[in-house]
């Protein structure tokens, strides 16, 4: 996912820096084996490695328990609790924010649609929101992954942040301009991704749809989908890059913070059909690198697909537009952010 790509880019920039986290499962996050990993007390809790969400109310304490003595700089990559680490004077803490915690703020309604669940979770949500507001003031400086996220950081936390788009894999690879007769959807099985809209559309129109994403194989039981919809589950990066290159288009039905897979698909010259909101507005040039549908329902997506099928797109132009999300650009901008933050911090203490 996007967080994995960012962490690997940061490791390239700071290869000797350890990775602090609440829990680590080497089976599902084998890619992190290149890091010197330090975990919290939650690592020894039952089921914590496989079902860390069971311990959501413990996450604040888990991150607060980590010690950063002796470090001049700490970078938190945060979509939940990691920004709440406690550092001592003399340690500059910068946060690269993926999003303010979705299930507490912008995505609360998506996660707690069930009235009973909403009622039962009220005490925990109230506690976590209060803590999240306190924790949001702990970083000395913020960077956000998009204008969309920077707006949320300002709205929910009252903090300013610079914008550094995350690094996109696949930039600079050769493009096979020959597209095949299928559409691609890359996602995780979480409510705000709105996979349901795409499923409904492709059930009805009969076009081929390939779905990629960890956990999706368990969600969609064999035989529950028509033959034109194929769930591939988790795939390797190379297999994903091959799918990006061959797909007629990427389907992106959710409102995303940035939407790394949209930029990745475009780096292979593949257009994107996306919901017209969030990070998609920063990635897609409507009519040239993709198209938007503007209502979160199947009829809106279907109408846009019908329009998309009547048009042609220049793969080389799409690939060229994706260059602005390349890893070299990310490294340069992030190192500038670190340098400026350390300089400002040294003047402050």
- Domains 2-167+327-348 and 183-325 in one fold: yes
Total H helices, total E strands in the chain: 13, 12
Average of pLDDT values for 148-164? 97
120 pLDDT higher than 60: yes
pLDDT bracket for residue 335 (50, 70, 90):
very high
pLDDT at residue 100, rounded to an integer: 95
Q: What is the pLDDT of residues 215-259, one digit of tens each?
A: 765 555 455 789 999 999 889 989 999 999 999 999 999 998 899
pLDDT at residue 173, rounded to an integer: 66
For residues 293 and 251, give the distance between their C-alpha atoms in angstroms, rounded to a whole number: 11
And the tokens for 314?
């220049």
Q: What is the pLDDT of residues 162-187, one digit of tens each?
A: 999 999 876 666 666 688 999 999 99
pLDDT bracket for residue 341 (50, 70, 90):
very high
302 pLDDT higher than 60: yes
Residues 6+ apart with CB under 8 A from 71: 87, 91
Give the H/E segment covering residue 181: none
Residues 6+ apart with CB under 8 A from 203: 225, 226, 229
142 pLDDT higher than 70: yes
Between CA 188 and CA 195, with CA 194 as vertex, the angle to 5 degrees is 60
Residue 56's nearest CA partner among 48, 64, 65 is 48
**Helix segments in the chain, DSSP class H:** 2-13, 59-64, 108-111, 115-135, 147-152, 195-205, 216-219, 237-246, 260-267, 280-283, 298-309, 315-322, 327-348
Q: Which residues pair with 346 in a beta bridge?
A: none
* Per-residue CA distances from 306 to 49, 89, 286 (Å): 44, 58, 15
Residue 247's nearest CA partner among 257, 232, 258 is 232
Residue 2's nearest CA partner among 316, 218, 325, 334 is 325
And the tokens for 66?
């980590």
What is the fold of 183-325?
Rossmann fold (3.40.50)
25 burial type by CB count under 10 A (0-12 exposed, 13-18 middle, 19+ buried):
middle
Residue 337 backbone zone (phi > 0: left; psi -120 to 50: alpha; other: beta): alpha
pLDDT at residue 176, rounded to an integer: 65
And the tokens for 313?
């797109």
pLDDT at residue 214, rounded to an integer: 79
Residues 6+ apart with CB under 8 A from 231: 211, 216, 217, 220, 225
For residues 193 and 279, give the distance between their C-alpha atoms in angstroms, rounded to a whole number: 13
In whole angstroms, how large is the CA radius of gyration of the chain? 21
pLDDT at residue 198, rounded to an integer: 95
Q: What is the pLDDT of residues 185-221, one digit of tens each?
A: 999 877 778 999 999 999 999 999 999 987 765 555 4
Residue 264's nearest CA partner among 296, 236, 291, 240 is 240
pTM of the model: 0.86
Q: What is the CATH number assigned to the segment(s) 2-167+327-348?
A: 3.40.50
And the tokens for 296?
């979160």
Phi, psi (rounded to 5 degrees) for 183: -105, 155
- The domain limits of the chain are 2-167+327-348, 183-325
Coil, helix or strand for 92?
Answer: strand
For residues 346 and 349, give the distance between their C-alpha atoms in angstroms, rounded to a whole number: 6
Coil, helix or strand for 78?
Answer: strand
């Amino acid at each position: 996912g996007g967080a994995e790509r960012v962490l690997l880019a940061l490791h390239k920039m700071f290869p000797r820096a350890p990775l602090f986290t609440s829990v680590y499962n080497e089976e599902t996050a084998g890619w992190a084996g290149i890091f010197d990993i330090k975990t919290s007390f939650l690592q020894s809790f039952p089921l914590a490695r496989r079902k860390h969400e069971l311990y959501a109310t413990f996450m604040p304490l888990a991150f607060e328990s980590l010690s950063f003595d002796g470090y001049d700089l700490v970078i938190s990559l945060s979509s939940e609790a990691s920004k709440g680490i406690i550092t001592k004077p003399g340690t500059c803490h910068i946060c690269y924010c993926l999003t303010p915690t979705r299930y507490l703020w912008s995505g609360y309604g998506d996660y707690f649609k069930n009235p009973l669940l909403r009622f039962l979770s009220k005490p925990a949500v109230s506690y976590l929101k209060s803590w999240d507001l306190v924790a949001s003031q702990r970083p000395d400086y913020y960077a956000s992954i998009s204008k969309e996220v920077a707006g949320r950081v300002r709205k929910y936390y009252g903090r300013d942040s610079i914008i550094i788009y995350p690094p996109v894999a696949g930039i600079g690879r050769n493009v096979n301009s020959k597209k095949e007769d299928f559409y691609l959807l890359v996602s995780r099985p979480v409510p705000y991704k709105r996979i349901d809209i795409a499923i409904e559309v492709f059930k009805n129109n009969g076009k081929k749809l390939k779905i990629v994403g960890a956990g999706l194989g368990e969600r969609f039981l064999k035989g529950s989908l028509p033959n034109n919809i194929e769930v591939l589950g988790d795939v390797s990066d190379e297999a994903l890059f091959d799918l990006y290159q061959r797909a007629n288009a990427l389907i992106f039905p959710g409102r995303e913070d940035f939407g790394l897979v949209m930029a990745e698909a475009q780096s292979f010259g593949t257009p994107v059909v996306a919901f017209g909101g969030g990070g998609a507005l920063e990635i897609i040039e409507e009519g040239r690198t993709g198209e938007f549908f503007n209502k979160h329902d199947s009829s809106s997506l279907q109408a846009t697909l019908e329009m998309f099928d009547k048009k042609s797109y220049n793969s080389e132009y799409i690939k060229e537009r994706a260059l602005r999300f390349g890893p070299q650009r990310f490294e340069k901008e992030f190192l500038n952010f670190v340098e400026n933050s350390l300089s400002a911090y040294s003047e402050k203490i």
